[in-house]
Amino acid sequence: MGDASQQINGRVQHVAIEIAQLNKGLAESIKGKLESSIPSLNGSQCSIYRVHEKFCKLNKYAYTPEMISIGPFHRGKGNLPAMEDHKLRYVHALLSRTATIGPKLEECVESIREIEEEARKCYSEPINMNSNEFVEMMLVDGLFIIELFRKSAGKVKSERDDPIFGNIWGLSSLVRDLILLENQIPMRVLNCLFNQPALKEELEGSCSFNMLALRFFNPLMPREKEVLKNYSKCEGKHLLDLLGKTFHDLPERGKSKNNSWKFIPSVTELKRAGVKFKKSSTRGSFLDIKFNDGVLEIPPVIIQDQTDSLLRNLIASEQCCDGHVTYMTSYAFFMDSLINSADDVGLLRNQGIITNYLGDDEDVSALFNKLCCEVTLANFYYAELCDQVNIYYKTRWHKWRATLKRDYFHNPWAILSVIAAVVLLALTLTSTIFGSLSYLVHKS
């Protein structure tokens, strides 16, 4: 009996030791993974993200480059490698205009190598490229962008066989590709290359890199040159971020206790209640919407082929950050409330607020109605403004006055008819009064 008991206890003890070793091995494995993981994907340096799958399912084209790949996320995909040789031609042209290419390249490589770790941290996921590959990609893409911007600004003459400037669609496609969130390189890299002593002689006399960039992207949301100069020292984390921040120059709104999204009626409904729509100044941000004394002032906006991608990528960028900066998201929600149909677009277009280059007002309506799908709004910038609009809309006198004006004073003939009816009513009433008085006097 004793031998059997010892045998069983020995077996149990052996199993317990094996389980303890397994647990220790698993713990060591998990510890290794934890120690090898990157510290944080949401640190202050991270600024270039993958667009969330839920957005891509709705409109993958809006976030995917069609002509050129910049940075690591779309490198080598589809037909994009076809432009790699052209990138090299641009870089060669930039470097070969003064002195020898070799020494310049060495200086550029050395500068990018010094900020390599900082550049890698700008991406939301580890970049599976060795040091030489990564530095080469940053250098080639960065110098290509600088040469592209200078050619676009007329600082450098473009060749006839240039596939970008040699056809009517090349440049517009490239403008769109360079504002995609996944198709970015850090602004630190671009500024590092633009300010290289080795390129000083070639770039001397050019305007700042910010001005070159803003002039390149200006066709997306056209603004006067004097307006762009106000943002010559604006700091962006990448090109999309730079462009977005030039639209954030907005007045401070009153602090609202509830800054969640507020519904407002559509343009058609507001017009029936007496709200007027007015095109405001073109010198500020197209986000600077105001409401005062029944007048909704909205800056003009051009809706064209690239507008959907621009707005979606600006919104996606806000969705990836901490949620406090939601200017573009707020604008999308506001316009989605205002526009429910082609009729709403037509009313805004007639006031000069919307310029429609898509052709059909229904397409513009669909664009704004789909922008907010799957989007989360944390801080609604127009909350107080919407409260003011809703108070005005719910005031009965405003609706009555608007109905009277719309139904009886919409043209001169209608006004004459109303006047004639009033005069006839007055004459009838006067006749009745005199008749009654005459009867009472006669009877007395």
Which phi-psi region, left, alpha or beta, contains residue 109 (left: φ > 0; alpha: ψ -120 to 50)? alpha
159, part of any domain: yes
Give me the domain span that covers residue 338. Answer: 267-397
Q: Is residue 118 domain-shared with residue 157, that is, in the same domain? A: yes
Q: Is residue 221 domain-shared with residue 309, that is, in the same domain? A: no
Q: Is residue 130 domain-shared with residue 94, that is, in the same domain? A: yes
Q: Is residue 78 domain-shared with residue 227, that is, in the same domain? A: yes
216, part of any domain: yes
Residue where a domain terminates, one of 382, 397, 412: 397
Q: Is residue 92 domain-shared with residue 236, that is, in the same domain? A: yes
Q: Is residue 182 domain-shared with residue 276, that is, in the same domain? A: no
Q: Is the dihedral of CA 96, 99, 100, 101 positive or negative?
A: negative
Q: What is the tens place of the pLDDT at every residue in 122-135?
A: 999 999 999 999 99
DSSP secondary structure, 78-129, as one string: TTGGGGHHHHHHHHHHHHTTSS-HHHHHHHHHHHHHHTHHHHHTTBSS----
pLDDT value, residue 419 = 66
CA 265-271-272 angle, to 5 degrees, is: 90
Pull the structure tokens for residue 246. Answer: 């030039």
Q: Is residue 190 domain-shared with residue 110, that is, in the same domain? A: yes
Pull the structure tokens for residue 153. Answer: 């600004």
Domain count, the chain: 2
Task: Give the count of beta carbons closer than 10 Å to the beta carbon of residue 283.
Answer: 12
pLDDT value, residue 50 = 94
Question: Residues in the chain with pLDDT < 50?
Answer: 41-42, 255, 257, 397-398, 400, 402
pLDDT value, residue 73 = 96
pLDDT value, residue 22 = 87
Q: Is residue 96 domain-shared with residue 129, that is, in the same domain? A: yes
Q: Is residue 233 domain-shared with residue 379, that is, in the same domain? A: no
Model pTM above 0.85: no
